[in-house]
Structure 1
Amino acid sequence: MNEEKKRIVVKVGTSSLVNANGSIKVPTINRLARTLSDLNQAGYEMILVSSGAVGAGMSKLQIEQRPTDIAELQALSAVGQVALMDLYTRAFNANNQEIAQILLTRDVVDFPISHDNVLRTINQLMAHHVIPIINENDPVSVDEFHHKTTFGENDQLAAIVTKFIDADELIIMSDINGLYDANPATHPDAKLLKVVTKIDDKIMQFAGGHGSQFGSGGMATKLKAAQIILDSDKKMVIVNGENPAIINDVINDDFTGTTFSAN
């Protein structure tokens, strides 16, 4: 493993945390905690951007269909965020790893004073070898004229955080191996794109809709995140998050997935 210290953002999607029946994938959370803890304790600076609050809230309140009402979604997020952090706390404690929760809104990143304060907080946490777990502050985020506080979804949040804290790499864990030239679920001969150096109309055409009723992302949002990463001259990879140990494979550059890099 590379001995040079690296700052790595890992984004885990709702589909990696919530089963199709709405139950939480506790074993996945435990494996994710173990992998991130081992890397953090080996000298890497690990940051986790976690989706799943709405999905966890739906599971907690036994709601099967994702609602469309904003107030209902924000209420579910408020319930789910507590449940999710309880699971993360127990999982990381089992690996002797301290964590911290940071809930962001877009204006915190955009305005200089709050930007600097949050950045200092994150750097201080990592100086104490604490893993920050970041999510959007969904229960209070709004999107209105002159007051935009939403990131849109967590793929773009993860890319903005990667740029914001000057991380070396963003690893997005999804329910698919990476970006294909067609939908592999309906096209058995679809080819995985191993390296993408720019996001153009052709690449955007490869993106389909999101596959989870509990999440808000999809390949299109990941490509928007990739554009932020490429514009920042950084690196991003998309891998299948079924087994979080794949993060080690990404760090060792021996993995199946799609790499986005201008170089």
Structure 2
Amino acid sequence: MRIVVKVGTSTLAHATGRLNIRHVEQLVKVLSDLKNAGHEMILVSSGAIGMGVGKLNLPGRPGDMPTKQAAAAVGQCELMYTYDKLFSEYNHTVAQILLTGEDVDHADRRRNFENTMSRLLELGALPIINENDTIATEEIKVGDNDTLGAIVACSAKADLLVLLSDIEGLYTADPRRDPGARLIPVVEEITQEILALAGEKGSDLATGGMATKLRAAQMATARGCDMVITNGEHPEVLYDIAQGKAVGTRFVAKK
């Protein structure tokens, strides 16, 4: 299978913005093992701004664009250095692709991106994709990596998109506030009732939320790609997901 895994800032970093070493090392180990098993893996990774916040010792996620871009420039270096070092330990070569909204909205640029990604997979590399937050402005940014994950999955004609988040999946209500909330294991169709279940975003360093995940599910399933939302606390759940086992919430693709 061709699998796109999107990992959020809440999985990669502690609340301080500093790297969650245990999570990242385990994620890389599992992705490497799935690649060894014959799957084509693509990683969409958040975390540049969050890691830049930690590295620059800022008090929190910046509100102004120049500081966000500065934090992204610092954090992206740290992020890719870490991935390159860890994946190399398992004899896998990584490649960095940074995108803005213009790169996917413009037909020629999107085709160039798709061709590059296709060739990287043919060469056995593992593409690591993030928004180019260092130059992205409000006018040209994709906005969140859930949407970016869906765009990448559609562009790569992936079989499966997995969003690793800080929540187990889609619930009947917000489980942080309602102890009676139940996990919805399978969504066959994204109805207005399903869309109405979206709550607020999670951590302070994150940019997404359930609303962006449901939009990503709409995009992916419309293009024939299943999507799973699950908790990134234990990356080894990717083994079960790749085998089609019930983990988190699976959105079934339209055939």
TM-score (norm 2): 0.95
2:35 is matched with: 40
CA distance in 2, matches of 1:232, 1:245: 27
Percent of residue pairs identical: 46
Instruction: Structure 2: give runs of 5+ residues left out of the alignment.
Output: none
| Secondary structure at 1:65 match in 2 | coil
Which residue, 221, 237, 246 being the options, matches 2:228? 237
**1:25 & 1:160 partners in 2: Cα distance?**
27
SS at match of 2:204: coil
1:10 partner SS: strand
SS in 1 for 2:96: strand
State the 1:202 CA deviation: 1.7
Match 1:191 to one of 175, 178, 182 = 182
Whether contact under 8 Å (1:195, 1:260) holds in the other structure is yes
Determine the structure 2 residue equivalent to 1:3: none
Match of residue 218 from structure 2: 227
CA distance in 1, matches of 2:246, 2:252: 16
Match of 1:55 among 32, 45, 50: 50
1:9–1:262 CA distance, 2 compared to 1 (3 A): closer
Instruction: Tell me, yes or no, if the aligned pair for 1:47 and 1:132 is still in contact at 8 Å.
Output: yes
Aligned pairs (5 A) from 1:28-177: 28-144=23-139, 149-177=140-168
CA contact (8 A) 1:209 1:218 kept: yes
Q: What is the deviation of 1:22?
A: 2.7
CA RMSD of the aligned region, Å? 1.3
Whether contact under 8 Å (1:22, 1:64) holds in the other structure is no
Q: Secondary structure at the match of 1:207?
A: coil
- Report the CA distance between 1:183 and its aligned residue: 1.2
What is the Cα deviation at residue 257 of structure 1?
Answer: 0.4
Secondary structure of the corresponding residue to residue 143 of structure 1: coil
Cα shift readout 1:51-72 (whole Å, capped 9, x = no counterpart): 0111100110112321211121
> Which residue in the other structure is 1:18 paired with?
13
Query: How far has the Cα of 1:113 moved from its partner?
Result: 2.2
**1:124 to partner: Cα distance:** 1.2
The amino acid that maps onto 2:121 is M
Residue 101 of structure 1 deviates from its aligned partner by: 0.3
Q: Distance in 1 between matches of 2:150 and 2:213?
A: 9
Distance 1:58 1:215 in 2: 12
Deviation by residue 1:82-104 (Cα, 9 ceiling, x = unmatched): 01111111111111111010001
Secondary structure of the residue that 2:4 maps to in structure 1?
Answer: strand
CA deviation after TM superposition for structure 1 residue 155, in Å: 0.2
- Separation in 2, partners of 1:61, 1:142: 21
Is the CA contact 2:227–2:253 (under 8 Å) kept in the aligned structure 1? no
Shift of residue 262 of structure 1?
4.3
Indicate the residue corresponding to 2:204 in structure 1.
213
Question: Please, what TM-score do these two structures have when normalized by structure 1?
Answer: 0.93
